Amino acid sequence: MPPVIELEPAPTSEANLEAAAWVFKALSDPARLKILAYLASHDTGPCCGPEGGICACDLEAVTGLSQPTVSHHMKCLISAKLVIGEKRGRWMYYRIDPKGFALLRAFLPRIGG
Amino acid sequence: MPPVIELEPAPTSEANLEAAAWVFKALSDPARLKILAYLASHDTGPCCGPEGGICACDLEAVTGLSQPTVSHHMKCLISAKLVIGEKRGRWMYYRIDPKGFALLRAFLPRIGG
DNA sequence: ACAATACATTGATAAATGTCAATATGTTGG
DNA sequence: CCAACATATTGACATTTATCAATGTATTGT
C-alpha cells in the first residue's frame, strides 16, 4: 500500500523517507523506466492516432509486455505521482505527472544528490 | 547481480535503463535513504570519534538495524555507486559517492524529470 | 600468540514483486 | 440489446528482497 505522498519541502522524517522510497521504487524497474522515457519523448502513439496521446496499447507495444502487466505498471507509476492517467472513451491516455519528479528534486539534495 | 554502471551521457538503451533502475532500486528502501541522509548531513559519528568519519556501527545506531543488515544495505549502496566505503584499521568508513547521483541527474531528464 | 573487536558472509524465513492466463468491468457501434 | 473492444482485476507462480542468527575473516591491543 503506497504511502500518502505529500509535496512539502520535507524534513527527513520517517513519513518522508517512505514517500520518497515509494517514488524510487516505482522508478526501479526497467520496464517502467522505458514507459516513462516513451511518455517523455512522444506526444502521440501509433495505436490511437494523433488525437489522443499515448494509450495503454501503445505501451504494450513499447514494452513487449502483456496487457495486465502494463496495467499493473501504470497503476504503480500513477500511485507514485509520476504519471497521470486519463480515461477518454474506451482508452486510457497517459502522460508524465510533474508532481513525483518535483518530490524527487526536493528530496535528492537531502541524501547527497 | 548489479549491472555495470556506466557514466556515459546515455541514450535510453536497454543497458542504461537497467543501470538507472539499479540505482533507483538502491534508493527504494527507507533504511537506505536514512543512511544516505545521515551521510549527507554528518562528517563524523559518535562511534569512532571525530577523526575518521562515519563507520558501520554509527549506521547501526542510526537505523536501529542489526549489523548484518546494515552491511547488506551498504553493499547495495556501494554497488549503485551512491556510497564509497573505505577500510581503515578495523573500521569501514562510508561517505557519499557523487557518481551514482551524477548518473541520476543525467538520466532523470530522459524520463520526464 | 591470543582475546577482543569490527565487519562480512551464509543460511533461513517471511514478505513483496513481476509476470501472465483467466476473468471482470466499462464503453462504443450497430 | 448485443457483440466487440480497451482496460482493470484476480489468482497463481517464480523470483527477489529485507531481515536476523550464526558463523567467518581480518585487524588491533596486550
Residue-wise pLDDT tens digits, B79-88: 999 999 999 9
pLDDT score, position B19: 96
Residue A42 lies in a domain: yes
Q: What is the DSSP letter of B88?
A: E
Which whole number is the average pLDDT over A53-79?
98
Confidence of residue A6 (pLDDT cuts 50, 70, 90): low
> Which of A17, A33, A82 is opposite residue B21, by nearest beta carbon?
A33
**pLDDT surpasses 90 at A10:** no
Q: What is the pTM of this model?
A: 0.94
In the sheet where B54-55 sits, what is the strand order?
Answer: B54-55, B91-96, B83-88
Answer whether residue A15 is part of any domain.
no
Chain C positions under 7 Å from a protein CB? 5-11, 17-22, 26-28
Range of the domain at B60: 30-108
Q: How many domains does chain A have?
A: 1
Q: What is the pLDDT of residues A54-65, one digit of tens each?
A: 999 999 999 999
Whichever domain contains B88, its CATH number is 1.10.10.10
List chain B residues with pLDDT less than 50: none
What is the C-alpha to C-alpha distance for residues B95 and A42, in angstroms, rounded to an integer? 39
Confirm whether A19 is domain-assigned: no
- In a domain, residue A16? The reply is no
pLDDT for res B11:
66
Searching chain A, which residue's CA lies closest to the CA of residue B80?
A: A28
What pLDDT score was predicted for residue A12? 75
Q: CA–CA separation, B47 vs B39, rounded Å? A: 14
Q: Judge whether A91 lies within some domain.
A: yes
- A15 vs B contacts (CB less than 8 Å): none
Average pLDDT, chain A: 93
Task: Using a CB–CB cutoff of 8 Å, tell me whether A30 touches chain B.
Answer: yes
| Distance of alpha carbon A60 from alpha carbon B79, whole angstroms | 31
Contact B111 A33 (CB under 8 A): yes
- Give the closest nucleotide to A87 (alpha carbon vs C1'): D7
Q: How confident is the model at residue A99 (pLDDT cuts 50, 70, 90)?
A: very high
